[in-house]
A and B are shown apart, each in its own frame.
Chain A
């Protein structure tokens, strides 16, 4: 992840010093990507909001949602944002050991969240809500499933990052790479902040 160096071969990455805005190419790209993801999740959330009450077959949300369970899950994901930002902070202080520690905790919390989602999905399925059961079912699983895939990709990226740091094979500014993965991770968290309220806490 680098741009063209015009002089120094060591400066294979853009620290922002050589750019017209003074900002990093990679960071600009990540924020643009996150801006576009707002429209992606917005579409899935809107579809859910439209269809949440259309339950021709199978259970209604009020019959299967387990708010206490999901609340714990949400709290886990929220705390993973804290551990993520602590990882970024450690990376900026060039503390590889601490960075990896916080990264692994973040990945574990993320994996716990995914575990919770898997448990929730299988429970719902057993209770009669499948992907094809009703509009509520299709839109619920599409939205939360997409979110879950994003979290899973995030966990893979966190673990890969740790591996690459350990092997010393980062091809760019290490603190920036951690920061960028952090931005992605936080975004996935804020999408869940919206989902938790709109999907779970506000009854249809």
Chain B
């Protein structure tokens, strides 16, 4: 995610500049293009890890920059990420009991 940090040169209390947001959007679009390319190009064993990583990166970027969570009070992050964390925990556990992750 180091590419993203260069772009918030203008980060102040009310967020990035419009130019910054556009830069983030371009990065997101590029990642999306890469995701779609997995449909056309054979990534081999990298297929799943690459897709999941890109999904997570896009998710975190939208949350951190567009939703401004990176620049706001940690309390908001706590409220959201506890919800997300609980969701991941309970649903992955439940799917695990269905032997979902066993090939």
Contact = CB atoms under 8 A, between A and B. Distances in A.
A and B bind: yes
B63 A186 contact: yes
Contacts of B100: 49-50
Contacts of A42: 87-88, 90-91
Given A31-B79, A78-B29, A193-B62, A46 B36 contact: no
A201 B83 contact: no
Contact of A34 (B25, B38, B51, B80): B80
A163 interface: no
Contact of A92 (B14, B24, B75): B14
A82 B22 contact: yes
A158 interface: no
Contacts of B80: 31, 34-35, 38
Contact of A78 (B32, B52, B67): B32
Interface in B67-103: 67-68, 73, 75-76, 79-84, 86-88, 90-91, 94-95, 98, 100
Contacts of A74: 32
Nearest to A75: B32
Contacts of A198: 55
Interface stretch (A20-28, A107-115, A132-140, A145-153): A20-28
- Most A-side CB within 10 Å, residue of B25, B68, B84, B87: B87
